[in-house]
Amino acid sequence: MTKPVKNLGLLGIEYRDQQRPAVIDLWDPDNPRIIDYPVFHAACDAVAKGAIEAGLRPGDRIGILCSNRVEFLEIFFGCMRAGVVPVSIGILQPKEIVEWIIRDAGVKLVFCESSLREKLPDIAVVDIDSTAKDGLAAFKREGEFTPFVPVGDAIAFQPYTSGSTGRPKGVLLSHRAHTWVAETISRDRDFSPTDTMIVAAPLYHKHAMNSIKCVLVGGSTVVLMRKFEPRAYIEAVTRYHTTVVSGVPTIFAMMLQQRDMLTGRDYSFVRLATMGGAPATDALIDAVADLFHQAEIVQIFGITEASAALFGRHPKGEARPRHSIGWPIAGNEFRLEGGEDENFGTLHVRSPGLMNGYHNNPAEMEKRVKDGWFDTGDILRRDPAGWFYFVGRGDDMFVSSGNNIYPSEVELMLERHPDIDQALVVPAPDEIKYRVPYAFIVKRAGAELTEQDVKDYSLRNAPPYQHPRKVIFLPAMPMNGVGKIDRKLLTARAAAPAEATEREAN
């Protein structure tokens, strides 16, 4: 008989009577809202009860089209308490993709901010900002609520991948798997009621939502920003004494550029700084460690389909090597395939946190999952001691005259140059070599750096085939909707005919 499992919407329920902040909502930074655990859990129950009274049933899909604010969390966790499956939709997605996700998922109702309603098709809507009968306040129903009890691999929520290689894919994630994921990550990173974590990444993305789950499991507090803005981020860290800071490397790089705000301030209260989404350079790690001088600096690795509960601390407390994404967390199984040996290649994983599958996409499921092993598409290596390192996305790797080029390796090399703040390497078409590397560079403030300087540095510090044949200087890297550098945009720019014909000799 299939056993009941814990409802993911009930994370942190053991703290519901404790008069401590669960969320400090900075959606309107001039008017912060502090929501304690009793109020937060009551609001989640009110959403759950409202969902049932609105005719929604376990397994039904609802959409969330909303920026970072406490209402997003109330809807997300409240609907799961009712067995209703949240589908979070990126607010920067074009109307066409928003409508496609709603159709693909079979969404019956969308919770939406007023400013985003124009992106929706003709569908039932709960307006988060409205005070009328179509608003969230009117949707809620106060009072005790008996939560849905999931069994087996019942679906908890359904995020969609970014769609960088085609249409977004709906990922089916269960209550069982992601309760394990949340509890595992929170334990690995020692979350407790004494912690306050700042979250500025979008909640519709896995990175931010994993952080929220860690906070709830630990009985901690989250400082929730509407979006990342470096000076506001620094001010929030300073004001609320956040003990945990997290983000992609670009967020930390932009924060460190605000030297006038950082100089003379003591951030010894920060105990943990996590970086994920892309490799970080030695210079960036050193700068973060210098600023947060009491913090453990951790590079994290996660995949929507297989969670972030893959790598963590060493079970015997051994120090993590620089740039390592960690030691295998117990319960996971790993294989590296397609490389020169078993210690390098594409990561395949079997994990308790693995997805149930792709929604309405059996072809992709057959392609990516075989005998319970999921092909992540990420290239990793393992050192002789057993630590793992991220090399790059298999999709990003390109071949130049027979040589495999992993952009992240070239970027890390370039960013060791004292006058380079950020680097991004992409392939450009070439008549002879098929593809050659182009580099987009953000200089350090005040640096006098030429294209030839960059090429010469590359030739001294890397194999000749890796050196960028063209260098384009930018004032800042373009960002996508989840706070990462928009590699797709810059790849398109490198492939533009005007630049593609400017092939340079070795």
Q: Where are the domains of the chain?
A: 398-500
What one-character DSSP code corresponds to residue 141?
Answer: -
CA atoms in the 13 A half-sphere facing the CB of 453? 12
Give the per-residue pLDDT at 155: 98
Give the per-residue pLDDT at 163: 57
Give the per-residue pLDDT at 482: 63
Contact 251, 284 (CB under 8 A): no
Nearest Cα residue to 159 out of 288, 303, 272: 303
Distance CA 227, CA 494 (A): 29
Q: Which residues contact 14 (CB under 8 A, 6 or more apart)?
A: 219
What's the predicted TM-score (pTM) here? 0.84
Give the per-residue pLDDT at 500: 41
Give the per-residue pLDDT at 80: 98
β-bridge partners, 473: 441
CATH code given to domain 398-500: 3.30.300.30
Residue 72 CA from chain centroid, whole number: 17
Type of residue found at 51: A
Contact 105, 87 (CB under 8 A): yes
Q: Which residues, given as ranges, of the chain have pLDDT below 50?
A: 498-506
Contact 406, 389 (CB under 8 A): no
Residue 475 CB: number of other CB atoms within 10 A?
6
Contact 415, 425 (CB under 8 A): no
Residue 363 CB: number of other CB atoms within 10 A?
8
- Per DSSP, the three-state class of 358 is strand
Give the per-residue pLDDT at 486: 86
Distance CA 83, CA 52 (A): 9
Distance CA 310, CA 321 (A): 17
Q: Which residue matches tokens 């900075």?
A: 26
Question: How is residue 470 written in tokens?
Answer: 């063209």
